[in-house]
Structure 1
């Protein structure tokens, strides 16, 4: 249930990254959250998540990617327990993720699954940002862009992935001299998505 709006801080962006237990978008088992405001890192954290009982099935191929096992999350909070804190963090900034269509779909799947109240949000994709800013790269996968920019990455660790995503945005701001994410997206013709359409 969408409940309201907040005055956006134009210079604040929040990078998020989810890992899932299986192919179901609601099976989140980890989240990374990184906040930059006025070019300064103000928050960096990651959390393991116990998937909802109906989705508590770990695909071995997914474990091979993120190395999160059922026993790692059995005593961790479910997403609805983390949501009040996450909602407060993201309420007044624009979200960004590397391959945002995946992470935003996971977020909305969780909101729907738990019937959570949420506030309208906007987001953009750092893959699309990278394609515009670094056209010469052979690929715009997170590890490739991170390596090009000298960003340390422990790939498929939610906290590390979110931090790398945030650093890609921040370093693109420095390279272009455009420090507001909305203006950056406009200048590089990166579309801004909306929770209305997820």
Structure 2
């Protein structure tokens, strides 16, 4: 997992450092003469696509390194575990010869010595095999931007074709689904999960990361478990949007005991499928709704509902009658999201949190 926080805590005060969130390796060093973070020349090459679903098949990876800057530091240990249906089936683990002495403080933290690394393959020798091991599986890492920067930096330097794997960050997931811990450092999560594993050893950190992911996935499923009618309603809304050539990558859902709330950052379809009456709750007036969808039956919403009109349905398939309204409200939600992105500070971080699993 790179450099330990207890080491970083000492260095931060000594070397005038600005820190990002304190979990794992997410810290940026500055020079000794400025408090600005070091800018690397190839940030555009660090881009990758985040997964928008929670797979049962995936590869968990972790690197141990001599520092935090992928343009200057070297990888000294690689580990990855392939899971199918959450069961481990294959491992890739190796020390890496950095072709330079390992700093004593890094050895103190990771336990990796020059003796461990001297007969190990170099990054040039082992990285092509490692990239091949990853295949096109979804990749999972704790504080994934750190590991992905080292992966993509070395891919670029070695002239290897940039992998297109989707990526999941268990740090983001833990912040969203694990509230019992004082922080979401991997060491803290390992203790909370009561795992008998070492820390800052790449393979053991992979096992911890996998346990965090599986815990978060179970909690996510419990939180968002849908009834058969709710699943059908969600699928029909997605079908409507696809039939009208809309991009559904931003669509998410949440649920309460009363409503299935389908969102494109902002809610655009709030559906009640429990109780005596089933309906789509709309903020539009009945006259406008009938103009868009002439074959629907409406009634006023109750005073405590966040809407103007109920559009009555008997089964989720009746939502097909409301296709023009659903598409129009989806487009409005996207426009509102773009306005939010344009005018609100830190909007990208909020949107990123919304898009996380």
**What is the alpha-carbon distance in structure 2 between the residues aligned to residue 33 and residue 171 of structure 1?**
19
How far is the alpha carbon of 1:189 from its aligned partner?
4.5
Report the counterpart of residue 21 of structure 2 in structure 1: none
Pairing partner for 1:74 from 118, 124, 128: 118
Q: CA deviation at 1:163?
A: 1.2
Shift of 1:100: 1.1
Q: Which of 75, 84, 91 is the aligned partner of 1:37?
A: 84
Q: Which runs of 5+ in 2 are unaligned?
A: 1-44, 46-54, 223-251, 254-352
User: In 1, distance between residues paired with 2:95 and 2:216?
Assistant: 29
Tell me the SS of whatever aligns to 1:35.
strand
Q: CA deviation at 1:162?
A: 1.0
Q: Deviations over 1:114-139 (max 9, x none)?
A: 22223212212111111111023111
Q: Residues 76-134 of structure 1, C-alpha deviation per residue, up to 9 Å, x if partnerless?
A: 11123223332222122111111111111111121122222232122121111111110
- Measured after TM superposition, the shift of residue 190 of structure 1 is 5.7
**Over alpha carbons, which structure has the higher Rg?**
2
Q: Does 1:191 align with 2:191?
A: no
Q: Which residue of 2 aligns with 1:59?
A: 103
Residue 164 (str. 1) matches residue 200 (str. 2): no
| RMSD between aligned residues | 2.5
Separation (CA, whole Å) in 2 of partners of 1:39 and 1:171: 11
| Candidates 65, 77, 87, aligned match of 1:20 | 65
Q: TM-score, normalised by structure 2?
A: 0.45
Partner residue of 1:149?
193
Given that 1:35 and 1:44 are in contact with CA atoms closer than 8 Å, whether structure 2 keeps it comes out as yes
SS at match of 1:118: coil
Q: Alignment partner of 1:119: what SS?
A: coil
Aligned to 2:93: 46
Distance 1:137 1:110 in 2: 34
Structure 1 portions without partners, runs of 5+:
2-9, 179-185, 193-198
Quick one: higher RCO (CA 8 Å, sep 6+), 1 or 2?
1
Give how far 1:24 is off: 4.1
Determine if contact 2:66/2:102 at 8 Å carries over to the other structure.
yes
Deviating 4+ runs (over 4 angstroms): 186-190
Distance in 1, matches of 2:59 and 2:80, equals 7
Give 1:94's aligned residue.
138
Counterpart residue number, 2:167: 123
